[in-house]
Amino acid sequence: MFRYFISKEFLFTLIGLGVLGLLAYLLVFFLFLPIYTRHGEALLVPDVFELPLDDALTKMEGANLRIEVRDSAYYDDLPALTVVAQYPVALSRVKPHRKIYLTVNKKVPPMVKVPDIEGYTLYQAKSRLESWKLAIGSVTKVPDIAENVVLELSFKGTELEAGVEVPQGAKIDVVIGNGYRGSGRKIEVPSLVGLQYEEALALLRKYDLGVGSIIYNSDDVDGIEGEVYNQRPRPRFGDSIRIGRPIDLFIYGHEPEENEGVEAEIIQN
C-alpha cells in the first residue's frame, strides 16, 4: 500500500486532479461568474431631475432601468409629481435593471401655522414668515403712526391670527403703517425691564413702537424665564425715541422653538 503513494501512478493522478481543479476554477471565474454578474456591463443613470414622473419612468425604462418612488417633498415653484431628487444620482454607473429611487414633489402642500408678526417691522415679518416657509404677499400702507410696522395680516382676503394654518408657500398680505403722524414725533423711551415678553410686546404696541432684536440669555439660572432684563435703547431721563422705531429686548431663558425666524442671538459666557 505504501508503495502506491510513492509510485508514478499516484503522482500522475495528483497532477491530473490539479489540472482538472485549475480548469474548473478558470471556467467558473472567467466564464460563468462574469455571465452571472454581467461583469463589465454598466449603464449610465439618466438625469430625470425636474421631469414629470411619467417622463422619468419612460426615460428610465428606455435605459433598461427601473424606478421606485421612495419619498416626497414640497416645492411651491415646481409642478406636482415632478422629480426633485434621485438615487443613484445622474451619470452614475449601475447594472442593467437596477432600481432607481426617486423623490417627487407633493400634489398638495402641507399646512403650516402662521407665526405672530403683528407689531414687527416689515423686514422682521418677512424673515419670520420665510422661516416658516411662507412669504409676504401684497403690502398695503394705511395712515398710522407705527411706520413700517405690521398692523394686520390676511390670506386670500381673510384676516388671519397667529396660529391659523395655511398651505406652505402661501403669500400673506400685510397692512403696515405709513408713519404719517409719527414722522418727527418722539416719545420718552418706555421702561420694559422686569416685564414678561408678552407684557413688553403689548406695551410697545401701545406706544406704537416696533420689536427689535430678541436676545436670549440662557446662562443666568437665577433669571426668571421670559423676563426682560435689559433693553436697547435704555430709558434714560430726557431720552426719546421716534414713533415706529424698534426697541431690542434682552430676555432670560432659552429661545423657544416657536420663535424660529426672529432676529435673535444667544448669549454664552
Q: What is the mean pLDDT of residues 157-178?
A: 90
192 phi and psi, to 5 degrees?
-115, -10
Strands, sheet with 228-232, edge to edge from the N-terminal-most edge strand: 228-232, 246-252, 210-217, 264-267
Looking at residue 207, its pLDDT comes to 84
pLDDT for the residue numbered 261: 39
Domains and CATH numbers, the chain: 43-105 (3.30.10.20), 109-183 (3.30.10.20), 188-269 (3.30.10.20)
Q: Are 262 and 124 in contact (CB under 8 A)?
A: yes
Measured in residues, the chain has a length of 269
Containing 199, the helix (H) or strand (E) segment is helix 197-206
Q: What is the mean pLDDT of residues 123-129?
A: 92
pTM: 0.48
Read off the pLDDT of residues 72-115 as tens digits, 9 standing for 90 and up. 998 888 999 999 999 999 989 999 989 999 999 999 899 999 99
Q: Averaged over 129-137, what is the pLDDT? A: 92
Cβ–Cβ under 8 Å, residues 144 and 118: no
Nearest to 194 by CA among 269, 129, 252: 252
Q: Work out the pLDDT band at 39, boundaries 50, 70, 90.
A: low
Over residues 214-257, the pLDDT tens digits come to 899 888 777 888 999 999 999 988 888 887 788 999 999 887 66
Please tell me the predicted confidence (pLDDT) of residue 56: 94
Residue with more model confidence, 182 or 184: 184
Q: What is the pLDDT of residue 219?
A: 82
Nine cell digits for residue 34: 462574469
Q: Can you tell me the distance from the alpha carbon of 57 to that of 67, in angstroms, rounded to the nearest whole number?
A: 7
Q: What percent of the chain has pLDDT over 70?
A: 81
Amino acid at 143: P
